[in-house]
Structure 1
C-alpha cells in the first residue's frame, strides 16, 4: 500500500529490457497508483520510447507505457521477491478443447468471488504452480466448474502427471545479442590469456547484480538436483561460499557426486558436489547470460606491457566486435581500446 501511493521522483538514467522499475499502473484513473514492473519490450513511437511492462506484484501486462510514467526502482525495492504467483487449476479443462468461453471465465470469477481462498500446491512445472483452489463453496473450484458444466475434470497439458515416461521440458538460456562492429564498454569477468577470456557489458553487469538476490530466492524454492538430471549439459544453480546461488551448466561428470560446471555469468569453471546443486528456476532463464566469450586479435599498444592488469577481474575497457561466435562454443573476435580519459 505504501508503494501504491508513493510519489516517485527519480528518473532512471536508462531503461533496458529486464530492468525492474516503478511505474504508474492506473493511468486511466485520476487517483495515481504505482507498482513495480519488469521491462519486457521497448518500442520506438515517433520521437519517444514506449515499453511493455509486466507488473510483478499483480501478474498482468501493460502495453506501450510512455517514458513519462516510469521511474527508478531503488535497490532495496527491486531486491524484494515478486508478489504474484502464476497458477493453473489442476484437473480443469475446456469441454471439447479449444479456448475458454466467456461464460466459463465469468463462472470461474463468480465462484472465486472476492473472498479469501486457500490453494493446495499439487505440482510445480517450469512455468507455473498446479493448484487446487478452495474457498467457502462446498467443493473446490475445479469440481464446482465441472458440476455446473463449465469445464471437464481430467488431465490437461501442463497439469498434474506423475507418469515416469514424461520427459521434462528442455531448458534454454538467453544470450546477449551481439553484432559485428558493436562497441561495448566492458569489465573483465575471468581469463588468463588474450586468446580466451570473458567480459561483461558494464550496464548489463550493474543490472545483473540487482538480480543476484532474486536468483538465490527462487533457487532456494527448488528441491535438490535429482540424480537423473546429474548429467552433462544440465542447467543448474550452484551454491557459492557466500551461500548465494550462481547460474551454471554441467560440463563434465567426475564421479557419482561431483562434476565440473561452468559459471555462465563469470566464465569460470569449478568442481561442485551434487548436494550444492539445484535445478535452474524458470525465473533465471529469463535473465540473459552475462559473460561474453572473447579472443583479442588486436590490442592498443599502451596495453602491451600490462596483460596481467588487463585481465584482472573488474578491469574496464572498450571492445569492438570483429567476428561473432555462438554462445560459449568459440570466442568472439574483438579489438581492445582503452577507456577515454
Structure 2
C-alpha cells in the first residue's frame, strides 16, 4: 500500500478538454460508438493496484459504494480493482453484487460478498480512469446498428496497442475522439475505406477555420419539446406551481459524475472578486465538502455573500465567496439537470399530487407548454408511473 500511496500522491489526473490529445490504451470495446480507453500514463498505478492485498472488510455494502474487489476469481493469483456497486445481482439476495470496474469500463456480475474489501478514501477520490468514448467521423452502415463484422474490424485495427487519442467533442458522459496508431491513417478512415463504416461527421461540427471564440459564461439547458413525455424524479419544490425535476437517466449519469465534478473543481482557482457578479456560473462547496454547479442570483454583501441557485437541484441558498470556485470548462458545457415545472391548472388543486413533491419521488411528465430556463416554468401534466386494477395510481420512489 505504501508504493500505491506514493503513486497516488504524485498522480496528476488530466482534464480531458476538447482539442487535446493523449496516449491511451483501448481497454473495452462494445462497438465503435461505445468503447473505453485508459491513458497509458496510469499503467503503473493499475499494475500496483492489481497486486494490492486488501485486509479491511466493509461494514456494509450499498448501491453506489466504492469497493476494492477481486476480479480474478478463478486464477491462483488474486487480481484487484476499484469498483462501484451497481445493485445486487439478485434482488432477493445481498450476498452477490454487480460491480462496474471504474478503471476498466465493464461490469463484473455476481461478485460474492467475500470478494469485496473497503476502498481507502484516497483511492475513492480518484476519478474513474476508464474513459467512455465514441469514434468520431464513423457511422454504422445500417443506421444505428453495428454489425459483428464492423465491430470485429474495429477491434482488429485497434489491435491491443497504444493509440493517440484526439478529443474532437464531448457529450454528457462521453468523449468523441479520433484514434491514430501504427496503421496507415486514423482508424475511422480505415474503417470507411475497407467498407465497414461510412465516413462522415457524427458529432457536433467543429469549425476548421480560425476564429475568435467568445468566452462562454452561461450554462446550457436541456432541449425538451411540446408533448414530450419524460420519466423524472423530484429534485426540489414545495408547490405544484413551482417545482424542479430531473430526467431519471440524466440524474443517474450525474450521480456517476458527482465525485469527479468535485475532483476537477478543487483544481480550479478560487473565485476572484471580478467574477463575483450576478448570473455568473460557479461551483460552490456544500456541507459535505462536495462542489455543486450554481448561478449567482443575488449579491447580499458586496464581494463576499450571495444567493446562489444550484442548477442541478433547483434550490437556492446563501453562499460565501470563499466557498466558490471557477467552474471547470467541461462542466459548464453540460446541460443543467433541473427542469423548472408547473402543473396544468386542472391539476393544481389535486391534493393527491402534493404528496409527490418529495425529493426522489418518480413519475412521468408530459410537456404541455414550454417555459424559459429558470425564468418561467414548463407547464406539465403529471402522469403516475402505473395504475393498479382498481384504477388508483401507484407512485414509486427511486
Q: Does 1:118 align with 2:164?
A: yes
After TM superposition, the structure 1 stretch with the greater mean CA deviation from structure 2, 27-36 or 147-156, is: 27-36
Match of 1:170 in 2: 222
Given the alignment, which residue of 296, 299, 307 partners 1:260?
Answer: 307
**SS of equivalent residue, structure 2 residue 162:** coil
Map 1:71-90; keep pairs closer than 5 Å.
71-90=117-136
Return the alpha-carbon distance in structure 1 between the equivalents of residues 98 and 175 of structure 2: 24
Map 1:17-56; keep pairs closer than 5 Å.
17-44=63-90, 48-56=94-102
Return the alpha-carbon distance in structure 1 between the equivalents of residues 136 and 267 of structure 2: 21
2:283–2:325 Cα contact (<8 Å) kept? no
Match of 2:196 in 1: 150
**SS of equivalent residue, structure 1 residue 109:** helix
How far did residue 134 of structure 1 move? 0.1
TM (norm. structure 2) is 0.50
How far did residue 168 of structure 1 move? 5.2
1:16–1:39 Cα contact (<8 Å) kept? yes
Q: Does 1:326 align with 2:358?
A: yes
1:262–1:270 Cα contact (<8 Å) kept? no
Match of 1:161 in 2: 205
Return the alpha-carbon distance in structure 1 between the equivalents of residues 127 and 155 of structure 2: 27
TM (norm. structure 1) is 0.58
How far did residue 95 of structure 1 move? 0.7
RMSD: 4.7
Return the alpha-carbon distance in structure 2 between the equivalents of residues 262 and 98 of structure 1: 38
Return the alpha-carbon distance in structure 2 between the equivalents of residues 13 and 45 of structure 1: 20
Return the alpha-carbon distance in structure 1 between the equivalents of residues 114 and 145 of structure 2: 37
Match of 2:241 in 1: none
Given the alignment, which residue of 312, 318, 327 partners 1:269?
Answer: 318
Q: Identify if the C-alpha distance between structure 1 residues 162 and 117 changes in structure 2 by more than 3 Å, giving closer, same or farther.
A: closer
1:237–1:245 Cα contact (<8 Å) kept? no
Return the alpha-carbon distance in structure 1 between the equivalents of residues 290 and 118 of structure 2: 26
Return the alpha-carbon distance in structure 1 between the equivalents of residues 283 and 134 of structure 2: 29
Q: Identify if the C-alpha distance between structure 1 residues 326 and 252 changes in structure 2 by more than 3 Å, giving closer, same or farther.
A: farther
Return the alpha-carbon distance in structure 1 between the equivalents of residues 49 and 58 of structure 2: 17
Map 1:173-192; keep pairs closer than 5 Å.
none
Structure 1 residue runs of 5 or longer lacking an equivalent are 177-207, 286-322, 329-341
Q: Identify if the C-alpha distance between structure 1 residues 23 and 324 changes in structure 2 by more than 3 Å, giving closer, same or farther.
A: same
Match of 1:91 in 2: 137
1:237–1:280 Cα contact (<8 Å) kept? no
Q: Identify if the C-alpha distance between structure 1 residues 173 and 260 changes in structure 2 by more than 3 Å, giving closer, same or farther.
A: farther
Q: Does 1:57 align with 2:103?
A: yes
1:123–1:131 Cα contact (<8 Å) kept? yes
Map 1:203-222; keep pairs closer than 5 Å.
214-219=260-265
How far did residue 240 of structure 1 move? 5.4
Cα offsets for 1:156-211 (capped at 9, x unmatched): 3xx23359xxx9563999779xxxxxxxxxxxxxxxxxxxxxxxxxxxxxxx9xx9
Cα offsets for 1:125-159 (capped at 9, x unmatched): 21111111001111100000000010111133xx2
Return the alpha-carbon distance in structure 2 between the equivalents of residues 222 and 152 of structure 1: 40
How far did residue 7 of structure 1 move? 2.2
Return the alpha-carbon distance in structure 2 between the equivalents of residues 173 and 37 of structure 1: 27
Match of 1:12 in 2: 58
How far did residue 98 of structure 1 move? 3.0
Q: What count of residue pairs does the alignment treat as equivalent?
A: 246
Return the alpha-carbon distance in structure 1 between the equivalents of residues 88 and 329 of structure 2: 31
Match of 2:295 in 1: 250
2:134–2:176 Cα contact (<8 Å) kept? yes
Q: Does 1:100 align with 2:152?
A: no
